[in-house]
Amino acid sequence: MERDNLLVTILRGIALLVVGLFFLFPLFWVALMSFQTNEQILRIPPSIVFEPTLSNYWALISGRLVSNAGILEIKFMGNLWNSVLLSTTSVALALLLGVPAAYAFARFRFRLSEDIAFTLLSFRFAPPLLVLLPLSLYFQDIGLTDTYVGLIWVYQLIALPLILWIVRGYFEDISPDIEHAYRIDGHSWWKTFTRIALPLARPGIAAAALLSFIFCWNNFIFALILASADKQPVTVGALAFVTASGIQYGQIAAAVLLSITPTLLLALYAQRYLVEGLSLGAVKG
């Protein structure tokens, strides 16, 4: 009964092309900018054909920016390292705490379990600005300002709800009978969790970890307020390019490209898991 005629196919192709261009064009433009000098970028009219240069990247990597106003120290590589450290550690901690918690919420009905779950999830709804001021005051009192530990702790607000939300759905989708069967076979509760529940929920855990990593990596406001220069991730570090002597578009572009590369690669590699994870195992398998 479905007859796809040529017109529909062509229109569909055009629509996809337009949407694709809309989302990918900025990325493409930024990539171009990263190989141009400031003069080339600011030239009017802008042109796609130019002499590419690696000076921007070189400046970032070496940590020294040579400009008309003098030599500037750039801590970009340090920021990159901070991003990596903060994101991976936060996600690791969130997994350690969140996966067992998700299992508990999925499998056990205890008093207030729904309320607690909702509270933890609500952290995602609240705008960070709401808690930022009190948080920064508390951090100063406890002495956690400008520490990795403090930031990792705050990043749990981002990662934990995501992991709970996604992984809980995955655990719920595993038929309880499978775990019962394993216990009836004679295995302990712990072995059932590690040999049955975890492997079967692996796509969900991977998806949740990936997404949390991306969100932590992209976070700006917590690091801006609660940390200072040498602990800041790339999101904040990019501000440094807005210098007194002018905005270094070339370096910003290069910095942007370098900072999105890890997450872009991860997402491309694991896109299947992301889609699977986000659909929360809706289809019964």
Binding residues for other proteins, rule: CB under 8 A, are 1, 175, 177-178, 180-189, 196, 199-200
Residue 125 CA to chain centroid, in angstroms? 17
Question: What is the closest distance, in whole angstroms, from the C-beta atom of residue 3 to other proteins in the complex?
Answer: 10
Question: What is the closest distance, in whole angstroms, from the C-beta atom of residue 181 to other proteins in the complex?
Answer: 4
Q: Are 75 and 227 in contact (CB under 8 A)?
A: no
Distance of alpha carbon 95 from alpha carbon 271, whole angstroms: 20
Q: Which one, 99 or 256, has the nearer CB to other proteins?
A: 99
Q: Which one, 22 or 190, has the nearer CB to other proteins?
A: 190
Question: What is the closest distance, in whole angstroms, from the C-beta atom of residue 19 to other proteins in the complex?
Answer: 22
Distance of alpha carbon 75 from alpha carbon 230, whole angstroms: 8
Question: What is the closest distance, in whole angstroms, from the C-beta atom of residue 277 to other proteins in the complex?
Answer: 17
Q: Can you give the length of the chain in residues?
A: 285
Q: How far is CA 119 from CA 78, 110, 167, in A?
A: 36, 15, 16
240 burial (CB, 10 Å; 0-12 / 13-18 / 19+) is buried
Question: What is the closest distance, in whole angstroms, from the C-beta atom of residue 170 to other proteins in the complex?
Answer: 13
Question: What is the closest distance, in whole angstroms, from the C-beta atom of residue 203 to other proteins in the complex?
Answer: 11
Q: Which one, 107 or 124, has the nearer CB to other proteins?
A: 107
Residues ≥6 apart with Cβ < 8 Å to 198: 99, 205
Distance of alpha carbon 45 from alpha carbon 50, whole angstroms: 12
Q: Which one, 63 or 199, has the nearer CB to other proteins?
A: 199
Q: Which one, 116 or 196, has the nearer CB to other proteins?
A: 196
Distance of alpha carbon 214 from alpha carbon 218, whole angstroms: 6
Which helix (H) or strand (E) element contains residue 66? Answer: strand 64-67
Q: Which one, 128 or 203, has the nearer CB to other proteins?
A: 203
CB environment 173-206: b (16+ within 10 A), e (fewer):
bbeeeebeebeeeebeeeebbeebbbebbebbbb
Cis peptide before 233 (omega within 30 of 0): no
Q: Which one, 64 or 180, has the nearer CB to other proteins?
A: 180
Question: What is the closest distance, in whole angstroms, from the C-beta atom of residue 180 to other proteins in the complex?
Answer: 5
